[in-house]
């Protein structure tokens, strides 16, 4: 059975927020162009960059196992991201684990 994801795209200006810490975790993302930083802020107000994703890289994979995002995602450059819906991706992964293709 062939499964198709309903993928969408979002364009962000430099400095725009894709999501904020505590927002509902609804998707995983792939960068088509630009750069996105995964950022947390310390209680003292310092910005700590946890990860920076560039073209062809995915990010926010932890969303698959969490109800909320654990950091902010900020466009460091103008960016376009592919949005991979969490629930659909989890269904596909579960189906592929349940029915291995190599005959085992």
- The answer to whether position 1 is within a domain reads no
Bridge partners of 27, per DSSP, are: 85
> How many Cβ atoms sit within 10 Å of the Cβ of residue 3?
9
What is the per-residue pLDDT for 91?
Answer: 80
Full 3-state SS string of 44-65: CCCEEEEEEECCCCEECHHHHH
Q: Return the CATH number at 58.
A: 2.60.120.10
- The answer to whether position 103 is within a domain reads no
Q: Determine the structural domain holding residue 21 and report its residue range.
A: 8-98
> What tens digit of pLDDT does each residue of 30-50 get?
999 999 999 999 999 999 999
> Considering the entire predicted model, what is its pTM?
0.81
- The answer to whether position 104 is within a domain reads no
**Which residues lie closer than 8 Å to 53 by C-beta, 6 or more apart?**
29, 31, 35, 36, 37, 38, 59
Separation CA 95–CA 88 (nearest Å): 11
Separation CA 5–CA 56 (nearest Å): 18
């Amino acid at each position: 059975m062939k499964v198709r994801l309903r993928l969408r795209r979002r364009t962000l200006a430099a400095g725009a927020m894709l999501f904020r810490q505590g927002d509902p975790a609804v998707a995983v993302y792939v960068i088509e162009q630009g750069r996105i930083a995964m950022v947390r802020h310390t209680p003292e107000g310092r910005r700590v960059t946890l990860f920076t994703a560039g073209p062809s890289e995915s990010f926010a994979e932890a969303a698959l196992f969490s109800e909320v995002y654990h950091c902010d995602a900020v466009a460091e450059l103008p960016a376009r991201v592919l949005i991979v819906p969490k629930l659909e991706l989890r269904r596909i992964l579960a189906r592929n684990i349940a029915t291995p293709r190599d005959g085992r």
